[in-house]
Amino acid sequence: MNDPIDRLRAARPAHLGDTPVDERTRAAELTRAMAQPRQERRTRRAPGRRTIARPAWGLGLAGAAAAVTAVAVAVTGTGGTAPSPSTARTGQAVSASESPESSPGRTAPDGQVRLSARTVLLAAAHRAAGQPDETGAWWHTVSVSRTLFRAEGADYTVVDRQRTESWTPSATGPDQRQHSGSQSLGAQPATPEDEAAWREAGAPAEIPVVVPGKKGAKLSLPTGPGEVQKGQAPLPDGDKVFWLGRNVSVRDLRALPSEPGALKAWLLRSYKGHGTESSAPMSRDAWLFTVTTGLIADMPVTPEVRGAAFRMLAGLASIEVTRDVTDAEGRAGTAVTIDGPEASAMGKAAAGDDGVLRTRLIFDEETGRALATENVVVRPGGAQAGMEPGTVWNSDVTLESGWTDDGPAS
């Protein structure tokens, strides 16, 4: 599947059916597709669809508020240092191997106690597991994705925003359908400096953008919002909707083990030694982080399973936590990512052309709820060429996620 258009067609969610796609959506999808390594699928997927639980390197997009960010220097488990991306509100980064389990934190030179990554994640696990276990007729999510594009023939960057809403039925069967709505919110200059350059270029209402990997592509991003596009489709195989190393149903997710070791073993049954969306080698820890991020971010698992997922992450080597960061909506949270050589190799495969990305999950420590997933530039290259290290290249912000008995409007 070498042709970019074929890759886009394969990536298009089935629940959108034959709904027309405007140019902004095409541009964002094409950039994400071209930023990923060539796909060689070895696990069985539902025919003709990209699943809702997206692999980390294809996750959503980055906002103007967090477009260009600082780089915190974090201590890794090997005793060296590595650049750790953070948002405009830079926090304190700590690693899982910084402190043994019996020592939950350390005292910094300023006299404040710095909690270890493991301690932070275990606390989040406790709070996530304590949330009420509510169910309903529909699993409903609302998210806003953002991505950065370089303007073609001009020296400025724009951020393109898209809103997505979905309803997944809890019931299964041939008559059940998944519903969705999507809307392009428009492209805007990413920073005040970009806005000045955009105005100097005549403040075009249609912004031609660079599409990496497809020579001669002519795509323009309107600055105004588009119409809401609605779609629906039957569930693949009658019940499969999400992807968790393999295609799973809502019933499968609700039956996941709530003990960290058992959950890890369940997930690793799908591990084949390579990435979630490519044949590039990936370590077990990096693979588990990728898959578990999706589980925490937007899947209808029980609170106990979400807590087990955080506990499992706390047990992985090279886990790094950064507190007091903000997502693209300006909400404060805590970010967790995986560091180390295998993570860098994974990020390089995703970025391509010698670039390196790092994926992180931002969550609310008080509830264990996911706020956003982000891809952050560690080393510019490929679709991120010219961007500063620490730039949030793309993000997917979760605005709503939960059960409801109110289905989609007809």
> Does residue 363 surpass a pLDDT of 70?
yes
Beta-strand pair 138-150/219-222: unpaired
Question: Is the per-residue pLDDT at 33 higher than 70?
Answer: no
Distance from the first to the final alpha carbon of the chain: 36
Residue 99 has what pLDDT? 37
What is d(CA 370, CA 361) in angstroms, rounded to the nearest whole number? 7
When pLDDT is averaged across residues 222-245 and rounded to a whole number, the result is: 91
Which neighbouring-strand residues pair with 243? 247
Which DSSP category does 151 fall into?
A: B
> In whole angstroms, what separates CA 302 from the centre of its chain?
21
Q: How confident is the model at residue 312 (pLDDT cuts 50, 70, 90)?
A: very high
pLDDT at 352: 55
Rounded to an integer, the average pLDDT of 3-16 is 42
* CA 213 to the chain's CA centroid: 22
Asked if residues 143 and 164 have their Cβ atoms less than 8 Å apart, the reply is yes
Higher-confidence residue of 218 and 370: namely: 370
Q: What type of residue sits at position 117?
A: A
User: Three-state SS string across 110-153, please?
Assistant: CCCEEECHHHHHHHHHHHHHCCCCCCCCEEEEEEEEEEEEEECC
- Which residues in 222-252 are b (16+ Cβ under 10 Å) and which e? bbeebeebbbbbebbeebbbbbbbebbbbeb
- Single-letter amino acid, residue 172: T
State how far the Cα of 63 lies from the Cα of 75, in Å rounded to an integer: 28
Question: For the segment 121-175, what is each residue's pLDDT rounded down to a tens digit?
Answer: 999 999 999 999 989 999 999 999 999 999 988 999 999 999 999 999 998 888 8
pLDDT at 7: 41
pLDDT tens profile 253-273: 999 999 999 999 999 999 998
Q: Which of 37-41, 305-309, 344-348 has the lowest mean pLDDT?
A: 37-41
Tokens 């820890």 belong to: 285
Of 224, 183, 185, residue with least CA distance to 207: 224
Helix boundaries (H) for 209-259: 250-254
Query: Residue 195: enclosing H or E segment and its boundaries?
Result: helix 192-200
- Locus of tokens 């276990």: 133
8 A C-beta contact, residue 31 and residue 61: no
Residue ranges covered by each domain of the chain: 4-404
